Structure 1
Amino acid sequence: MMSSLSHLVKQAAVGSVRLELFCRNLSSSARSSMRILQFMQSEERFIGVRVDKEHIAKLSPSFSTDVCTALANHGQERLLAEAARCLQSGDKIELSQVTLLPPVTNPDKVLCVGLNYRDHCKEVGLPLPAEPVLFSKFSSCITTSGDIPIPSVTKCIDWECELVAVIGKKAKNVKEADALDYVLGYTAANDVSARDMLGSKEQPRNGGQFLTAKALDNFCPLSFDIVTKDEILDVDNIPLSTSVNGEVRQNSNTKEMIFNVPNLIAYASSIFTLLPGDIILTGTPSGVGFGRKPPLFVKSGDVVEVAIEGVGKVVNRFL
């Protein structure tokens, strides 16, 4: 496999014609196990791909400098081919020399799904929804591991561990059977929530909508990498967890999802067009703070770690 891949890499060049041929010839198995990311170096942004735990390879800035633009201008297959070419080039940068960014920074849509885990519905005493419960965050919510200031408008910050699907190409009226063809890969998120801005069942705030409780600045921290879908053997069977100051609070599996990733893409794309770089936060399992008796929320100084097996983790200190 490696000799075959090396041969293909030698055939690939910066020019679009040869890169197009590279895209056609590079098999999905040869592209497996790639982790795509974004980073800053010398005050410039780049796309990269992980080489190992301590090194990354840099995609040419002439190709693109951010994932959303690369997908929009070149397409999913060419982005993967360029990442594979850079991975095999032998050129690498030490992680200590760069600043990692969220893997997607300016998507057209930050789509979220509420009440999508059976165990979560049970803990909050709500029936299973008959169709996906969709809401949104904004690009200004996106951050990554690091400190998050606690907004003055809330005193009840909660955690929600979520698998995120990153859309790789334009999707409209997609069939469930074809849905994963539109996924570039996956990352991890904490769908941070201001529970007091939701109100209560008896006295809901904002008309009962989720937006004001979910869309505060920095309320969508993502892990550093987009793990290409080839690396995930079964997206319907992934362990995921949350810990607060080292104590496990959520511990579940994506098999608890009511609507899985293909369901969600098919449903959402029947309503609106999903664009390259859009992200879908697919819901959270049981173990959230407000589901406890008494409720338990994040305090200043708390460190929250969300981890999804085989995908990544995001660690934030709230201040």
Structure 2
Amino acid sequence: MAYSLITFQDPGTGKPRAGLESAGRVLPLTDTVLDLPGHRVTLESVIEHWDKAEDQLDRLAEDSAGAGWLDYADLTVLAPLQPRQILQAGANYRQHVIDLAVSHRDADETEEEVRARTAASMDRRAEGIPYFFIGLPTAMASATEDLVLPGYSRAHDWELELAVVVGTRTFRVGPEEALDSVFGYTMVNDITTRDLVFRKDMPAIGSDWFRSKNAPGFLPTGPLVLPAKFVDNPQDLTVTLRLNGNTMQDESTADMIFSAARLVSAASQQMPLLPGDLILTGSPAGNGAHWGRMLRDGDVMEGTITGLGTQLVHCRDEVAP
């Protein structure tokens, strides 16, 4: 029986509670339900002590009609976990990079020339190493929290992404072994303020990901974490984002330049990855910069990735103090 893990607001105490979700039902994971000797039951402790938790959860998931289970629809689902580290892969979808190159082409170049040139450069890049930058856990939000659009810009953009959840301490592994270190997968919308990506006052410095990507709520995450054993192939999932009902992104993870395994391996060469860390794998074609349309007050984003549930985020303008 397939199942996922969530964090939700306990209806009785109002405090965060880990839950086992199966077929639209949720079992609160209390110390009496799940035995993790010496550890309080949280989604983070389940990940870190998966060797003790997995068999117990497998058995519990077989009885989703039993006593103690709640209806998922009745719960307030929170961001599933609080990682210590967030790594984000940039420009990792082939078609996305090609589309961006076309939108910024010189007047004397045709679209066909730019597409061919960029496609060739993507082939060369795939033989190199991924591009990473750091995200902040304080930017995380749940899959249904309103997104407050900061008033200092009108260029806030969406980027729905598959995120890898690290399962074990991982340092300098090869791509062949990298997926053994993965606990599971979740969904993240990596909101970006486009006109802050490059510092006009310091052009030689390059990208300013700190200011452009880390405002409160800029990483809607979840709603769930799906254990890796229920994902046959992370390169065969569909990433779809609809804005006010209109499909903007709809792409297979097969379009990644660097696979999930190669991203985990590459990230682990520089730093130890820790249980519960997130590695965002990049966003496919179809963000607002491509469509010439940024997020506005009243917009509704609906995000789905195969097997990872649904995000439903309402946008509203920041109210000046």
TM-score (norm. length: structure 2): 0.82
Partner Cα distance (1:143, 1:83) in 2: 26
| Alpha carbons 2:241, 2:249 under 8 Å: kept | yes
Equivalence map 1:196-207=2 (5 Å): 196-199=195-198, 204=203, 207=206
1:135 pairs with 133, 136, 144, which one?
Answer: 133
Equivalence map 1:49-68=2 (5 Å): 49-53=20-24, 55-61=25-31, 63=36, 64-68=40-44
Amino acid at match of 2:307: G
| Alpha carbons 1:48, 1:59 under 8 Å: kept | yes
User: How far is 1:71 from its partner?
Assistant: 3.0
Paired residues in the alignment total 282
| Alpha carbons 1:198, 1:204 under 8 Å: kept | no
Deviations 1:211-270 (A, max 9, x none): 211111111101211111122122111111111000011111101000001100110001
Relative to structure 1, the CA distance from residue 237 to residue 201 in structure 2 (aligned partners, 3 Å threshold; closer, same or farther) is farther
Relative to structure 1, the CA distance from residue 284 to residue 204 in structure 2 (aligned partners, 3 Å threshold; closer, same or farther) is farther
Give the corresponding residue for 2:4.
35
Q: Do structure 1's residue 301 and structure 2's residue 298 form an aligned pair?
A: yes
- Match of 1:208, SS state, is coil
Relative to structure 1, the CA distance from residue 253 to residue 275 in structure 2 (aligned partners, 3 Å threshold; closer, same or farther) is same
Deviations 1:143-183 (A, max 9, x none): 12221111122211101110111111111111211111111
Equivalence map 1:97-116=2 (5 Å): 97-104=74-81, 106-116=82-92
Give the corresponding residue for 1:255.
254
Give the corresponding residue for 1:289.
288
1:314 pairs with 307, 311, 321, which one?
Answer: 311
Give the corresponding residue for 1:165.
164
Relative to structure 1, the CA distance from residue 306 to residue 201 in structure 2 (aligned partners, 3 Å threshold; closer, same or farther) is farther
Amino acid at match of 1:268: A
Give the corresponding residue for 2:97.
121
1:82 pairs with 50, 56, 61, which one?
Answer: 56
Any stretches of 5+ residues in structure 1 without a counterpart?
Answer: 1-31
Give the corresponding residue for 1:269.
268
Relative to structure 1, the CA distance from residue 263 to residue 48 in structure 2 (aligned partners, 3 Å threshold; closer, same or farther) is same
Amino acid at match of 1:36: L
Partner Cα distance (1:99, 1:227) in 2: 18
1:94 pairs with 71, 88, 106, which one?
Answer: 71
Give the corresponding residue for 2:47.
71
| Alpha carbons 1:120, 1:285 under 8 Å: kept | yes
Give the corresponding residue for 1:238.
237
User: How far is 1:82 from its partner?
Assistant: 3.4
For the aligned residue pairs, the C-alpha RMSD in angstroms reads: 2.1
Amino acid at match of 1:57: L
Instruction: Identify which range, 77-86 or 226-235, moves more after superposition.
Output: 77-86
Partner Cα distance (2:204, 2:70) in 1: 49
Amino acid at match of 1:101: L
Amino acid at match of 1:193: T
- Match of 1:86, SS state, is helix
User: How far is 1:200 from its partner?
Assistant: 7.7
Amino acid at match of 1:34: Y
| Alpha carbons 2:198, 2:208 under 8 Å: kept | no
| Alpha carbons 1:59, 1:86 under 8 Å: kept | no
Deviations 1:37-92 (A, max 9, x none): 11121222221111322x211222464342223434xx222232332243245331
Partner Cα distance (2:188, 2:83) in 1: 15
Relative to structure 1, the CA distance from residue 33 to residue 201 in structure 2 (aligned partners, 3 Å threshold; closer, same or farther) is farther
Deviations 1:124-158 (A, max 9, x none): 11653432110121111111222111112221110
Give the corresponding residue for 1:13.
none
TM-score (norm. length: structure 1): 0.82
Partner Cα distance (1:87, 1:58) in 2: 12
Partner Cα distance (1:184, 1:238) in 2: 17
- Match of 2:186, SS state, is strand
Q: Percent identity among equivalent residues?
A: 26
Relative to structure 1, the CA distance from residue 156 to residue 204 in structure 2 (aligned partners, 3 Å threshold; closer, same or farther) is farther
Any stretches of 5+ residues in structure 2 without a counterpart?
Answer: 102-117, 317-321
Relative to structure 1, the CA distance from residue 243 to residue 206 in structure 2 (aligned partners, 3 Å threshold; closer, same or farther) is farther
Partner Cα distance (2:260, 2:310) in 1: 19
Instruction: Identify which range, 204-213 or 260-269, moves more after superposition.
Output: 204-213
